[in-house]
Structure 1
Amino acid sequence: MSKNTIAIVTGHTRGLGAALAETLLARDIRLLALSRNTNAALAARYSGKLEEVELDLTDLDALGRWLEGDALRTFIGDADQALLVNNAGMLAPIGALADQNAATIARAVSVNVAAPLMFAAAFAAQAAHVADKRIAHISSGAARNAYPGWSVYCATKAALGHHARAVALDSEQAGDRTLRICSVAPGVVDTDMQAEIRSTGLERFPLRERFDALKRDGQLATPRQSAEKLIAYLLSDAFGSAAIADVRELG
């Protein structure tokens, strides 16, 4: 009997998130995808396999109400394997501390930290009966390396890594072999976020020219390339052996 695997992905309408969603669907994995908008192209191509929810992850009250409802539990159902990919994220605000807008900081912390932690907790509770549960936080090299102008982005991505470490310790101490978690950096991917970086003034992001060079020299991975590596790792026996990983170091 084939394994009944389901997956949940946030931020699936463009870039890496869209590629992650398509990679999972192409593997015949039923997908629940959540974003502010729907992905019409994916929905048309994978009718019957894709369930979409329009949800703004900056609205934590609305997210909390959705997570407390029955939708997530119903989707998980009697799955043998359940995957959660916390992909949604935002780069702004970019700039020195005194130039950062309070509302934009709040949005970034909501999308990059609060929402994935809320999803992870709800997923662990509502998939408690599933023998193989896996949580992937989509991270960044900025989680390990500080960049000028990116203090909020660096801090929020680092938070996901520390969350993964602590949750892994909880599972280890409880002797729970059913839950695996990892904060995974996807490498430098050619997405809208990269375009946002290249359009930022040097006064706000002094290292911009480094990212200009990556694009100019063809050193950016495509979303599909990164998604294939991420999903292969997520489904592998090695997933969760370390709480922090980078696809560029996985071989």
Structure 2
Amino acid sequence: MKAIVTGHTKGLGAAIAAELTERGIPVLGLARGRAAGASALLTQIEVDLSDSAALAAFLAGDRLARWLRDEGATLLVNNAGVVAPVGPLQEQDPLATLRAVTLNVAAPLALAAAVVRASRGERRILHVSSGAGRNAYPGWSVYCATKAALDRHAEAVLQDGDALVRCCSLAPGVIDTGMQAEIRATPESHFPMKERFVQMKQKGALAAPEECARKLVDYLLAEGFGETPVDDLRNA
């Protein structure tokens, strides 16, 4: 068994990669940079998944296929994502929207297809989704739309009926990561719900990345993974 984790250098992605390697599962990390002091079981490839040309070049190459060669089971954790651009349409940079859609949607969907084509045996694909994919929030039109896309993708993959391909779009809850710091730093004029997240931080209501990663990996490796294509880790 091998795993692929996007955005493995920080936050939840780093915690997921660490949890997998601690369980003896080799991980291929895909991110713009490299994690220092990483496990010997972690192989890293630098690729900007928000850059459509860089993503296309990576997918056109053979590094993914070489990594997956002769593996009996493969895990793909599509963790990388951004919340920006935040604000009403007139405040959104169109190029930032393009980068967000590439990173949040195009990369996970393309990697899912690439992994299934390049591997054999059972494949488990986990999209890190969000409650924002299931509810609309002011200022988060791009983030909500991109996370909703992952939910629909997982549902459709289940309907494809391939017993060797399991997919779930999983909301992990609110985690104490850099993205949350970014949300708290957003002007209220761009994100009217900002105070809710400020209060959660002040009350200690944010989950630790390491604890979330442990539960997420347990979920990923569970026998029934993929039976529920859209799920919330807090309900598991």
- The reply to whether residue 164 of structure 1 matches residue 150 of structure 2 is no
| 1:65 matched residue in structure 2 | 57
Q: Deviations along 1:41-79, whole A, 9 cap, x unmatched?
A: 22xxx12x1110000012222212212222111111221
The CA deviation at 1:167 is: 1.2
Structural mapping, 1:1-251, within 5 Å: 5-42=1-38, 46-47=39-40, 49-127=41-119, 129=120, 131-170=121-160, 172=161, 176-250=162-236
Contact 2:6–2:29 under 8 Å retained in 1? yes
TM-score by length of 1: 0.92
- The amino acid that maps onto 1:110 is T
User: Unmatched 5+ residue regions in structure 2?
Assistant: none
Q: Distance in 1 between matches of 2:93 and 2:61?
A: 33
User: How large is the RMSD of aligned CA atoms in angstroms?
Assistant: 0.8
Counterparts of 2:2 and 2:208, CA distance in 1 = 25
Cα distance in 2, alignment partners of residues 218 and 191 from structure 1: 13
- Say if 2:177 and 2:209, in contact at 8 Å, map to a contact too: yes
Q: Could you tell me how far 1:188 is from its partner in structure 2? A: 0.4
Q: Mind listing any 5+ residue stretches in structure 1 that lack a counterpart?
A: none
Whether the aligned pair in 1 keeps the contact of 2:69 and 2:118 (CA below 8 Å) is no
Q: Which amino acid counterpart does residue 213 of structure 1 have in structure 2?
A: Q
C-alpha separation between the residues in 1 aligned to 2:185 and 2:55? 31
| Distance in 2 of aligned mates of 1:59 and 1:107 | 7
Q: Distance in 2 between matches of 1:186 and 1:24?
A: 16
String of CA shifts for 1:133-184, please: whole Å, max 9, x gaps.
10000001101011110000000000000011111111x2xxx211100001
Q: Residue deviations 1:55-111, cap 9 Å, x none?
A: 001222221221222211111122121000000000101101111110110110010
Instruction: Tell me the amino acid that sits aligned with residue 145 of structure 2.
Output: A
* C-alpha separation in 1, matches of 2:92 and 2:56: 27
Give the secondary-structure state (helix, strand or coil) at the position aligned to 2:64. Answer: helix
What per-residue deviation string (whole Å, max 9, x for no partner) do you get for residues 6-58 of structure 1?
0000001100000000000100001100100000122xxx12x1110000012
Letter in 2 for 1:13: T
Q: Distance in 2 between matches of 1:41 and 1:202?
A: 38
Taking the aligned partners of 2:114 and 2:87, their CA distance within structure 1 comes to 34
List structure 1 segments (4+ residues) > 6 angstroms apart after TM superposition.
none
d(CA) in 2 for partners of 1:55, 1:120: 16
Distance in 2 (alpha carbons) for counterparts of 1:65 and 1:97: 31
Alpha-carbon distance between aligned partners in 1 of 2:136 and 2:91, rounded to the nearest angstrom: 18
Instruction: Give the share of equivalent positions with the same residue, in percent.
Output: 52
Deviations 1:204-225 (A, max 9, x none): 1111110011101011000011
Alignment length (residue pairs): 236
SS at 2:188's partner residue? Answer: coil
- With structure 2 as the length reference, what TM-score do the two structures score? 0.98
